[in-house]
Amino acid sequence: MKRMLSGIKPTGQLTLGNYIGALKNFVRYQDDYEMIAFIANLHCITVYQEPQELKKNLRDAVALYLACGLDPKKATIFLQTDVLEHAQLGYIMACNTYLGELNRMTQFKDKMAKGETNLSAGLYTYPTLMSADILIYDPDYVPVGEDQKQHVELTRDVAIRFNHRYGDTFKIPEPLVQKVGARIMSLSDPSKKMSKSEESNKGCIYLLDEPAVARKKIMSAVTDNEAHVAFDPVKQPGISNLLQIHSSLSNEPIESITARFEGKGYGEFKKEVAEVVVAELEKIQANYRAIIAENQIERVLEEGAAKARSIAARKLNKVQRRIGIEIRKR
């Protein structure tokens, strides 16, 4: 069975973007692939997080993984910090990544361009830890949203370089970016990605938003003056974003939705998008409440970490022997 790996960093509450771009696919893939799905808590602290809030977000993220349908019997679910090998391989990856490569990463460049000050060194080097997160498990595929594709490409480059220097050690993973929903945009500014840490939360739907709140955000979504429901991300980015959200959740092709709304107004269209989103949120939230009540989180994380550790420890040992820093045979 081919292996697939992905993670989410709960720097806030998980969003509809995380669900459509990542989680929903993890659930679909877990039947056909050996799925490794971790919570990237080390990546969270590249930007300051209030500790109590972070703890809550981490617990909620695990509960939401399960609530969205990840099954711990099929998928390996764990916290990154429970497998210390990630950080150690991260350092080794940093030693095999060039500054020029990190300088080209658009996520960091965007933050610099916005004039953000006091950016941490961890934020700059986080693609090297991400390479370790991936390569330590030898996955065949890494499903990601559009914004993370560049980091998986860097991972491939570093793995190829490492294999060339030290001999065949890592499998070269493929990024998997879906066609619809790879980049869900903010509802209040459709030129920006829907992000957990968006300043105003009007543009972002959180998976734990009250249905009425989510409905209101969709009804207030920024659109345009074209007055017809069409998929045109350049001229009609807001409507196109709503079409992507609808289609990803309802599985109805975008052309079929636009055909049904021929000659109808945006209000009617938004109402239907809101219904589709709210129905999905209600399902997820009912599961979430049951998972919290059943206290499943600790057990799931413990079992997942044990499975992940056994793979990661073997790989780290192999890497360290290859590069000459390990002198004991294990």
Residue of closest CB approach to ligand AQP: 21
Pick the stretch among 163-171, 194-202, 292-300, 316-324 that binds ligand AQP (CB under 6 A).
Answer: 194-202
| Of the candidate residues 5, 61, 144, 281, the single one contacting ligand AQP (CB under 6 A) | 144
* Whether 283 is catalytic: no
Pick the stretch among 81-89, 190-198, 245-253, 314-322 that binds ligand AQP (CB under 6 A).
Answer: 190-198
Mapping DSSP onto H, E and C, the string for the chain reads CCEEEEEECCCCCCEHHHHHHHHHHHHHHCCCCEEEEEECHHHHCCCCCCHHHHHHHHHHHHHHHHHCCCCCCCEEEEEHHHCCHHHHHHHHHHCCCCHHHHHCCHHHHHHHHCCCCCCCHHHHHHHHHHHHHHHCCCCCEEECCHHHHHHHHHHHHHHHHHHHHHCCCCCCCEEECCCCCCCCECCCCCCCECCCCCCCHHHCCECCCCHHHHHHHHHCCCCCCCCCCCCCCCCCHHHHHHHHHHHHHHCCCHHHHHHHCCCCCHHHHHHHHHHHHHHHHHHHHHHHHHHHHHCCHHHHHHHHHHHHHHHHHHHHHHHHHHHCCCCCCC
Task: Compute the least distance from the CB of residue 38 to ligand AQP, in Å.
Answer: 10
Does residue number 148 form part of the binding site for ligand AQP (CB under 6 A)?
A: yes
Does residue number 202 form part of the binding site for ligand AQP (CB under 6 A)?
A: no
| Of the candidate residues 195, 223, 247, 258, the single one contacting ligand AQP (CB under 6 A) | 195
Does residue number 194 form part of the binding site for ligand AQP (CB under 6 A)?
A: yes
Pick the stretch among 76-84, 88-96, 145-153, 159-167 that binds ligand AQP (CB under 6 A).
Answer: 145-153
| Of the candidate residues 3, 9, 24, 270, the single one contacting ligand AQP (CB under 6 A) | 9
* Whether 217 is catalytic: no
| Of the candidate residues 67, 93, 158, 184, the single one contacting ligand AQP (CB under 6 A) | 184
List residues near ligand AQP by CB under 6 A: 8-9, 11, 15, 17-18, 20-22, 40, 144-145, 147-148, 182-184, 193-197
Q: Which positions are catalytic?
A: 111, 193, 196
